[in-house]
Amino acid sequence: MRTSTTATTRSRCRRRFIRLAVGLAVVTRQILLRGFVLLASWAIGLLVAGWIVPGVSLSVPGFIVAVAVFVVTQAILSLSILKLPHGYASLLLGGTGLALTMVALILASVLTQGLTIDGTASWLATTVVVWLVTTIGAITLPELLIRDGAGPTRPNTRLC
């Protein structure tokens, strides 16, 4: 009797472990895909701003560096906002998207020669265009690319 119970318990633990591993793989894939989508939307936002907004110039090698600086800056600033208490963070997230975009653009412009923005109107327009394209991309692209609605949204971490 004990052998049967032990075998059943082991089998149950194996199934839970496999479900956990599959759940973590799905979550990891979704995080990487969302990161790629955000990177692409930031790059597209900078390209659109460079194309539409007068006074904005981009060079190819500098553009790559500017996108990298922009992505790192946005990620760090966004994470620092998310560490605030939920009540403050939810209030700030609505209004800080534009501010974070402006700060990231300033750093990308100062730290690289690939992004040049001349004039206050160009700075404001570039901020709005990049923020708008990034927001649209962040909302729509993951929904188009991630169609994995099956399974738990949070894997079961209890093994046995």
Q: In whole angstroms, give the CA distance from residue 130 to residue 44.
A: 8
Residue 148: pLDDT above 70? no
Nearest-CA neighbor of 41 among 127, 138, 143?
138
The residues, ordered by sequence, that sit 6+ positions from 143 with a Cβ below 8 Å of its Cβ are: none
Distance of CA 72 to the CA centre of its chain: 10
Residue 147: pLDDT above 50? yes
pLDDT at 60: 83
Distance of CA 123 to the CA centre of its chain: 23
Span between the terminal Cα atoms of the chain, in Å: 20
Taking residue 140's Cβ as centre, other Cβ atoms within 10 Å add up to: 12
Residue 95: pLDDT above 80? no
**103-134 per-residue burial string, b: 16 or more CB within 10 A, e: under 16:** bbbebbbeebebbbbeeeebbebbbebbbbbb
Q: In whole angstroms, give the CA distance from residue 22 to residue 50.
A: 42
pLDDT at 55: 93
- Give the pLDDT confidence of 34-49 residue by residue, as tens digits: 778 778 888 899 899 9
- Give the pLDDT confidence of 105-142 residue by residue, as tens digits: 888 888 877 788 999 999 999 999 988 888 888 778 76
At 71, the amino acid letter reads V
Q: In whole angstroms, give the CA distance from residue 23 to residue 139.
A: 23
- Give the pLDDT confidence of 23-32 residue by residue, as tens digits: 767 667 777 7
pLDDT at 151: 43
For every residue of 18-66, DSSP letters joined together read HHHHHHHHHHHHHHHHHHHHHHHHHHHHHHHHHHHSTTEEE-HHHHHHH
